[in-house]
Amino acid sequence: MKEITIDETSSNQRYDRFLRKYFKHTPEITLGDIFSWIRKWSIKVNKTKKKQNYRLQEWDIIAWDEAVLTKNNAEKYQRKKSQKIAEVSLDYLKNFIVAETEHLLIRDKPPHLLIHPWDKHTTDLTMHDYMVSYLKQTDQRNATETYTPSMCYRLDKDTSWVVISAKTYEALQYMNKIIREREVEKRYTTILVGDLRKWSHKQARKWVSEKVWQTKGHPEWNEGSRIHENKWKRSSGYFTAFSMTEKDKNWIVVNAPLFVWYNRSSWRSQTFVNQEKWKESHTTFYIKKVIDHNILWPITMCRVKLWTGRMHQIRVHAAHIWYPVLWDLTYWIPPINRKATKKCQCTRQLLHASTYWFFDTFSDTYTSYTAPLPHEFSSFFEH
């Protein structure tokens, strides 16, 4: 009989979500299995049956017969991954570290590396595996039976950027809160196909008003915003999305509602501009540099600001105005991508999130963390 005693770091969360976290490293156990065990009373709380939405309390005891876990393939996958993790040295792991505090671990995520395990990459090492290995080798894992230091957000496999991990449960709760309340600022850099300076407002379907953010002491990225004394909050004020003129062709705002749809044939979700089933979505592209590439078409390096945080938002909005992210295999036509691969050795979408800016309650200061621009970006502008 397997028993788990709930401590303060695991209390006050839903019963089913706790079990999902506990079994997340066992890919053969599905969400359906967990719900089935709860419904059939295969797993008990304090020797009684509880509904899936029950809120766990400190000192609750969850128990089940280990014979329930009949899918033994998970052990085989875990052994293979454990062997790989054991071969990773501390010096190698330190190459990813941007900064570290008592509560947070900030790392630079390279492209082609997963954040979390996935069904198709069961034995591949992930950023989560590297994080756990680093904390274990430095004797600061801070893990309990049900809480392991975790990433604070997800990211596309091919996108590079700063990744923040919560070493403590308190830090994870705080980061989740400020992300949910949009009190963080992320700066992106991307390369778009085409000369964005030639974009015309006639291409826009319908521009709507865009909500303004209030910031305090934010350098360079507070165009159109108002100053606020404390943390970031959404303003009640509005400004109208501009149309570019001959005098000012250095930025463009895309206001296009997005809808996420699960594609069963490819086993992944995709995002589309949709006027009926939609969520409000706003993106600003700041033109940084434009060149007429000697192999590709004209390309534009842009700095990007997200006003909302939808899945694949930058990539979909860029494709929507017909200036797609270079080598975006999902939202753009193949010919340009094939040419970039063959002639320029480009193997991933050129999207990089360089800076994460937020109020750190643990140090009581506004903090920003920056990852250097990958070499793929500068190499395109050297031709």
**Contact assessment for residue 344 and residue 317, using Cβ atoms and an 8 Å cutoff:** no
Architecture of the structural domain at 184-357: 2-Layer Sandwich (3.30)
Cα–Cα distance, 317 to 313 (Å, whole number)? 6
Task: For residue range 173-185, list pLDDT tens digits in order.
Answer: 999 999 988 898 8
- pLDDT value at residue 223: 38
pLDDT at 56: 92
- Residue 175's alpha-carbon distances to 89, 128, 137, 170, 284, in angstroms, are 29, 17, 25, 9, 24
Q: What's the pLDDT band for 366 if we cut at 50, 70, 90?
A: very high
In whole angstroms, what is the distance from residue 346 CA to residue 112 CA? 12
73-86 vs 127-137: helix crossing angle, rounded to 10: 60
Determine phi and psi for 166, rounding to 5 degrees. -95, 120
What gap in Å lies between CA 98 and CA 84, rounded to an integer?
A: 24
**Side-chain-side CA neighbours of residue 186 (13 Å):** 22
In the chain, where are the structural domains located?
Answer: 2-68, 76-178, 184-357
Classify domain 76-178 at the CATH superfamily level: Pseudouridine synthase (3.30.2350.10)
* Mean pLDDT on 142-159: 76
pLDDT for 36-80, tens place per residue?
888 888 888 998 888 888 999 989 999 887 665 554 455 656 777
The predicted pLDDT at position 192 comes to: 93
Domain 2-68: what homologous superfamily?
A: RNA-binding S4 domain (3.10.290.10)
Intrachain domains 2-68 and 184-357 with the same fold: no
Mean pLDDT of 145-164: 81
pLDDT in tens, 224-249: 333 222 222 333 222 233 434 344 55
